Amino acid sequence: MMSSSFNIYRVGISFVMMCIFYKSAVDSLSELSPQKYFSTLQPGKASLAYFCQADSPRTSIFLEELNEAVKPLQDFGISVAKVNCVKEETSRYCGKEKDLMKVYLFRGNILLREFPTDTLFDVNAIIAHVLFALLFNEVKYITTLEYLQNIENSLKGKANIAFSYVRAIGTPEHRAVMEAAFVYGTTYQFVLTTEIALLESIGTEAIENAHFYFFHCKQVLDLTQQCRRTLMEQPLATLNIHRFIKTMEAPLLTEVAEDPQQVSTVHLQLGLPLVFIVSQQATHEADRRTAEWVAWRLLGKAGVLLLLRDSLEVDIPQHANVVFRRAEEGAPVEFLVLHDTELIISRVEGNTHIEEMQEDEDEDVQSPDMDIQDDEVAETVYRHRKTQLPLELTVELTEETFNATVVASDSIVLFYAGWQAVSMAFLQSYIDLAIKLKGTSTMLLTRVNCADWSDLCTKQNVTEFPVVKMYKEGKHPVSYAGMLGTEDLLKFILLNRISCPVNITSVQEAEEYLSGELYKDLIPYSSMSVLGLFSPNMTTAKEDFTKAGNYLRGCVITGIYSEEDVLILSNKYGATLPALLLARHKEGKVESVPFANSRVQDIVQIVTNALLETFPEITVENLPVYLRLQKPLLILFSDGSINPQYTKAILTLVKEKHLDSLTPCWLNLKNTPAGRGILQTYFNALPPLPLIVVVNLHSGGQVFAFPSEQAVTEQNLLLWLKKLEAGLESPITILPAQEWKPPLPAYDFLSMMDAAASQHPTRKEPECTKETNMQKNDKKQHEEKSTIRKEPVETLRIKHWNRSNWFKEGDKSFRHDNKEL
């Protein structure tokens, strides 16, 4: 990058084409003889030469594309010419038939690269390949995650990285990256890959598209810390990359003390809005931390500024804490009251969403109340409604094809409803799964739209959406009960490749099983392997364990060993038969747990508890698992990785049984931004981190904070916990006892459909009932389904359906029921 010996701005480049008997008019190309061409070569200048002996359709097509590339290449200081070769020419580039379809790249008289002309298939490929060859120091092409990590580590504290993934070399996206590298290659290290597995390792969800990331490595001084990564959400095009990089170069946060209407930044010039976080002297530090967090979240989407109210001459409404200014010239400044940082993010993204809606000519004009979404899932689905999913990666099943398909092959079936927001959101994850498993899985991925095939879904006992079931020949279908995400569903599928439990037949095989060698490809998806040890005559215990293994399938690897020499294993691991051996692969330890007289549910509970971490990082996904323990949470909040001394102190207390009545855990605000909202609820403002709190969610709702002035040691923590137990500490807040309900009642879609279908001869207003009423009327509605399906029914879309006459008549009914919540 910085050390490139080729300065693209100082070196002239000539792009030369050699061909004879080409009679088409290509006025933009200079035509030279071989002798003239070689005499014009100058040291340090690059040129490209093509030799052919006769005109051909292929040659004509190539020259047409080359002609299209002349003007763009000239913009980069690259001249383009065609050289006509004669039959008597003795040059090595004119005389060999096998060389006629190659293009040779020179710098001076030195050959740099040769290309088959089929790689230069259009104007984008020509420009991309030429710049890629010339910018070999500015752009690193990589194929492995290790190579990327090495580059990242070498540039920490020195420079930032522009990382891009394109589907193939020579595509329009590749050209865009190369053109950006031409301009910014001496400032940033450009890294390029075409490996989809490398993109997956970064954590991108929509891996079917090209991506451009900015790695913020220059400010990272700790080699163990990962560089922050910002994804460009716009399509990968030259202008978008330019705008994106310009926002990355702008200050993350700027403090201002002037009228927001008069402030000008690069964001406004690029068409992005400005967000002002209003601050005052007393809360300046806390406000700055909040503003920095918002700035990182909105990087590339908006400019964030800290507005100092105390030194501002212009009056700002006393209640306002956020000022929003759009990029349009003359747009009024908006003064807002937003008590949650997520609302600020939504405001910016929602503003973009509203502008997109106004540009959509196909959408009906709706009143303001219909633009307000009470359901974040429905909002997200609507916002991405135009995204085309590669549904062809899965097989769509119908009532006619279902049985034949699931009998012929092992199948995963997604039952969903095309009108339901959660179903459509999960369909994206399901397609991402299909992309991950493409060409590697023997399991057929299929889907059934229950909106079209309701009878089929009823026969398969599908009563809610979405539902995923696994069908294997000769076995009952297995329902997936995990999180509705790609990784969890992938784990479920992979762990179901083997029997649950798998039958182990020898001591040696058992040792390989416990060490992780037997199923090492599955260890990343199951951090623990469970082996049941039984004497051959323990029939009942084996049956119970087998049932428990079936129940746990897709969650953990289970095995069973009941040979005559089982005592060899029981003696080695100090286990009393029957016993469970829990092999924890990360720690490399095997723990034995006796379970005599334990029933199926007891075994499941033992394994489930064993899967829980001692000091886990709490995330949105795993929080429900730890809440089920019904214990107060001891949470260490941090803004990044935690101090090893803190971890040691807490684990010591766990080992000494001082925390048996609590669930110790930690929450990284960088990985789980929702933690900021939690802390603001506890403290009204974001406190300094790290911070330890005890939250008693299940009885009383008290929140206690460990004194921030004390060091986090075993002794101080234990003393503080004893004061809590003795009632000597006062809570910083008490959480109200309230249920988590939807903002609005559930819509009774069957009643709506009934109303639409029965408009002739009479009209019936739709009813919006509570969920309890829906359940009471479920039987009646089920009986009416067959009749309703035969009538023409208007298609509904969650929250954005067409406002037909029957909806208008029922509007009062809807609002009346809303007031009951």
**Does residue 160 surpass a pLDDT of 80?**
yes
Residue 100: band (very low, low, confident or very high) from pLDDT cuts 50, 70, 90: low
**Which residues, at least 6 apart from 74, have a Cβ–Cβ distance to it below 8 Å?**
80
DSSP character string of 152-166: HHHHTTT--EEEEE-
Residue 53 CA, chain-centre distance (Å), reads 53
User: Any idea which of 53-57, 77-81, 105-109, 550-554 has the lowest mean pLDDT?
Assistant: 53-57
What letter does residue 397 receive in the DSSP assignment? P
Least confident of 127-141, 284-298, 767-781: 767-781
CA–CA dist 720, 470 (Å, integer): 50
Cα–Cα distance for residue pair 199/203, rounded to 1 Å: 7
pLDDT of residue 53: 56
pLDDT tens digits, one per residue of 235-265: 999 999 999 999 999 999 999 888 888 888 9
Q: What mean pLDDT is reported for the chain?
A: 79
Among 64-68, 93-97, 222-226, 454-458, the least confident range: 93-97
Give pLDDT, residue 745: 56
* Region 609-638 average pLDDT: 90
Q: What is residue 35's predicted lDDT score, i.e. its pLDDT?
A: 76
pLDDT of residue 379: 66
Instruction: Report the range out of 286-290, 737-741, 808-812 with the highest average pLDDT.
Output: 286-290
Averaged pLDDT for residues 300-313: 85
Model confidence band, residue 350 (pLDDT cutoffs 50, 70, 90): confident
Q: Are 13 and 77 in contact (CB under 8 A)?
A: yes
Task: Indicate the range of 1-15, 203-217, 313-327, 336-350 predicted with least confidence.
Answer: 1-15
Model pLDDT, residue 544: 93
Give the model confidence (pLDDT) of 757-770 as tens digits: 655 444 334 333 33
Local confidence band at 351 (pLDDT 50, 70, 90 cut-offs): low
Q: Which CATH class is domain 498-611?
A: alpha beta
Q: Give tens-digit pLDDT for 261-279.
A: 888 899 998 999 999 999 8
pLDDT of residue 717: 94
Would you say 253 and 304 are in contact if contact means Cβ atoms under 8 Å apart? yes
Residue 93 has pLDDT above 90, yes or no: no
pLDDT per residue as tens digits for the range 489-546 = 999 999 988 888 999 999 999 999 999 999 988 998 888 999 999 999 999 999 999 9
**DSSP one-letter code for 642:** P
Q: Fill in the amino acid letter for 620.
A: V
Range ranked top by mean pLDDT from 460-469, 735-744, 796-805:
460-469
Which of the following CATH numbers is that of domain 137-247: 3.30.720.200, 3.30.2350.10, 1.10.10.10, 3.40.30.10?
Answer: 3.40.30.10
Q: Is 688 helix (H, G, I), strand (E, B) or coil?
A: coil
Pick the CATH number of 388-492 from 3.90.320.10, 3.90.550.10, 3.10.450.50, 3.40.30.10: 3.40.30.10
**pLDDT (0 to 100) of residue 597:** 83
Per-residue pLDDT, 94: 67
> What's the pLDDT tens digit per position in 124-147?
998 999 899 888 888 999 988 889
Tell me what percent of the residues of the chain surpass a pLDDT of 90. Answer: 36
* CA 213/CA 206 separation, integer angstroms: 14
User: How confident is the model over 316-333, as a mean pLDDT?
Assistant: 87
3-state SS assignment for residue 639: coil
CATH topology classification for 622-734 = Glutaredoxin (3.40.30)
Kindly state the average pLDDT of the residues 624-629: 88
pTM of the entire predicted model? 0.49
- C-alpha dihedral over 514, 517, 518, 520, to 10 degrees? 110
**Residue 393 near residue 434 (C-beta atoms within 8 A):** yes
pLDDT of residue 533: 94
pLDDT range class, residue 750, cuts 50, 70, 90: low
**Residue showing tokens 């990272």:** 220
Architecture of domain 266-344: 3-Layer(aba) Sandwich (3.40)
Q: What is the mean pLDDT of residues 571-591?
A: 91
Report the CATH number of the 28-131 domain. Answer: 3.40.30.10
Angstrom distances, CA of residue 709 to CA of 541, 646, 690: 54, 15, 11
Please report the pLDDT score of residue 821 as a whole number.
Answer: 31
The domain ranges of the chain are 28-131, 137-247, 266-344, 388-492, 498-611, 622-734
444 vs 5, which has greater pLDDT?
444
- Residue 180, pLDDT > 60, answer yes
Nearest alpha carbon to residue 185 among 140, 127, 250: 140
Where does the pLDDT of residue 700 fall: very low under 50, low under 70, confident under 90, or very high at 90 and above?
Answer: confident
Consecutive H or E run containing 214: strand 211-216
If you ran DSSP here, which 8-state letter would residue 551 be given? H
pLDDT confidence of 366, banded at 50, 70, 90? Answer: very low
Rounded to whole angstroms, the Cα distance separating 729 from 732 reads: 9
pLDDT at 783 over 90: no
- 137-247 against 622-734: fold identical: yes
* Mean pLDDT (whole number) for 798-813: 34
**pLDDT in the model for residue 561:** 95
What is the reported pLDDT for 154? 92
Asked whether residue 738 carries a pLDDT value surpassing 90, the answer given is no
| Cα distance between residue 59 and residue 52, in whole Å | 8
pLDDT of residue 754: 64
C-alpha distance from residue 391 to each of 325, 411, 445, 608 (Å): 40, 16, 11, 35
| Predicted pLDDT of residue 442 | 82
Does 16 score more than 50 pLDDT?
no
Query: Residue 313: which pLDDT band, with cuts at 50, 70 and 90?
Result: low
**Which residue carries 């969610």 as its tokens?**
697
